[in-house]
A = this chain, B = another copy of it.
Amino acid sequence: MDDGLLSSQDISFLLHDWLGGEGSAAALEGEGSREAVDAVLELGERIARDCFLPHYKAADRHEPTLDAGGVHVLPAVRDALRQYAEVGLFAAGFAEDLGGMGLPYLVQSALFAQFAAANIATAGYVMLTVANARLIATFGSPAQVETFARPQIDGRWLGTMCLSEPQAGSSLADIRTRAEPDGADQYGSRYRLTGNKMWISAGDHDITPNIVHLVLAKVPGPDGALVEGSRGISLFIVPKVLPDGTRNDVSVAGLNHKMGYRGTANTLLNFGERGGAVGWRIGELGQGLPQMFQMMNEARIGVGLGAAMLAYRGYRHALGYARERRQGRAPGTRGGPPLPLVEHADVRRMLLEQKAYAEGAVALCLYCAKLVDGGDDPESRSLLALLTPVAKTWPSEFGLAANDGAIQVHGGYGYTRDYDVEQLYRDNRLNAIHEGTTGIQALDLLGRKILRDKGHGLAIAGARIGVACDRGAGSAECAGYATALREAWAGVLQTVRALEAAPGTSAFDNATPFLRAFGHVVVAWLWLEQALVAEAHRGSPYHDGKLRACRFFFECELPRAAQWLALVSSGSDVWAGADPATF
């Protein structure tokens, strides 16, 4: 049975033939030879397969526990993360002067993909720690970097991001955690924090001796009151154990028990029950949210890639099962041995849909990862900002649909806990919620990234789509796709114009179907790009499969975009105008 990790064929196709192969800045080649990249990816695949995959089910069955000594996780989780640290993978994306390998973000993402596929809950500890260390490395003082980021880059400590609060949820402007000034020392301006943080993944555990919390909190004004809104938010480093070896005033108030991601200890943390947790401010006062948002693109692509890989592994399992399991016969025939499931048209439908969703989602996230490598290049930055809400959302929604299909292919077996597919589905259900729900992403796309951006990002996307369509127009296989994509893109632009003219804030009422349509058009574009690469290798089953998935997407999925856009363009108030009393 296929283990469901990203296949070497897919890595080669995506990283080298597609994303590395264009004339534009080939991040891969800039940072090391293809051999060096392949070597680190092979190392990652081995650790993912040998250390992360084996406890996927066990970590789901044996959730973290809480007692007076704190949170305890399955020993296999600890062992896997130690192994990950030992081979230096926490450092993979950091600069060499921080002990890192300086890998391009695209390669880091391909590396992360393997761990997300193998065990998303254990991989969660990695993702948080790397994001935390990167944030400190970007905005912290040299002493903060040395003291709090380096141990994470080495994998000796793990990190968290403490944003949400029980009463605030997605609305960070409403957080109430207070940070009272408490002097300064070698680590910077010192504060005492009091408040509660909810949904804190990896908030406590017995994996590493220390945990670095990054905490959003508000410093009271001269009148003692917290500044309203998000402008009052600053960012603080609050370690579980202080540099002098004493315990900080951070305690675990409870564990959240979720439907999936059960191997990741998810906690409610109380700060300052005994006078105030010590924390050091990062950067300037009131910069908490901008600092956090600067890292948010990567975190959101990470969520999307995780969702994509859950879908990918589910698809590979379903495919393996459909090839082995024999059941039923072709319509109109009787007798003879049963056929493998994959011979049934409807099973092929489910598999092809999964392939188009899962591989489309992986392609989208890796495309965005490559844009991260574009660094300060304005075109890359602008396009990345535009695509980030799509990369977060599309894999979360359609990846889940792929996982649903993987269960269906397995029939009753897929619904049992003996197979992985039901867990992949449960795990994936979280991704449309955390790091900003689909509704929040839709407002971000339409509000910040399109209407406020005055069409700048859109124009860049349009130009790239135009290039792909021009290439497609000259191809026997892809000419029809190019035409359909041009038409779909014109529909997006027309809808944006209608929204620009919408009265008041009504443009936002139908932001989610707009996001869905936009996502489908973007993924169609990236399928066309992949088809243009695959076309040269027609006749090889692997490349024919890419062409078939592209055809499926254009034939069965892209038409949905027009329907969503029609609704949005109409300015319908079908739900926005519904009186809550009538529900």
Q: A331-B443, A415-B430 are in contact. Are A342 and B583 (CB under 8 A)?
A: yes
Contact B433 A408 (CB under 8 A): yes
Contact B572 A555 (CB under 8 A): yes
Q: Which listed residue (B408, B411, B505, B541) contacts A169, Cβ 8 A? A: B411
What residues on B are CB-neighbors of A455 within 8 Å?
none
A329 to B170, CA, bound (A): 11
A567 to B509, CA, bound (A): 31
A94 to B447, CA, bound (A): 60
Interface string of A150-176 (1 = CB under 8 A from B): 000000000000001000111101100
Task: Classify chain A: how many residues form its interface, as a range.
Answer: 35 or more
What residues on B are CB-neighbors of A576 within 8 Å?
345, 348-349
Check if A289 is an interface residue, CB within 8 A of chain B: no
What residues on B are CB-neighbors of A509 within 8 Å?
345
Q: A544-B579, A580-B348 are in contact. Are A412 and B433 (CB under 8 A)?
A: yes
Which residues of A from 173 to 197 have beta carbons under 8 Å from B?
173-174
Contact A505 B228 (CB under 8 A): no
What residues on B are CB-neighbors of A334 within 8 Å?
173, 228-229
Check if A319 is an interface residue, CB within 8 A of chain B: yes
A355 to B173, CA, bound (A): 31
Contact A578 B327 (CB under 8 A): no
A173 to B337, CA, bound (A): 11
Check if A346 is an interface residue, CB within 8 A of chain B: yes
Q: Which listed residue (B173, B338, B447, B511) contacts A171, Cβ 8 A? A: B338
Interface string of A541-553 (1 = CB under 8 A from B): 1101100100110
Interface string of A433-450 (1 = CB under 8 A from B): 110011100110001000
Contact B331 A508 (CB under 8 A): yes
Q: Would you mind naming 19 contact pairs between A and B with Cβ atoms under 8 Å apart?
A: A164-B412, A170-B411, A258-B416, A259-B416, A259-B422, A259-B425, A331-B505, A342-B583, A345-B509, A346-B439, A346-B511, A348-B576, A348-B580, A348-B583, A352-B578, A408-B432, A408-B433, A548-B578, A559-B566
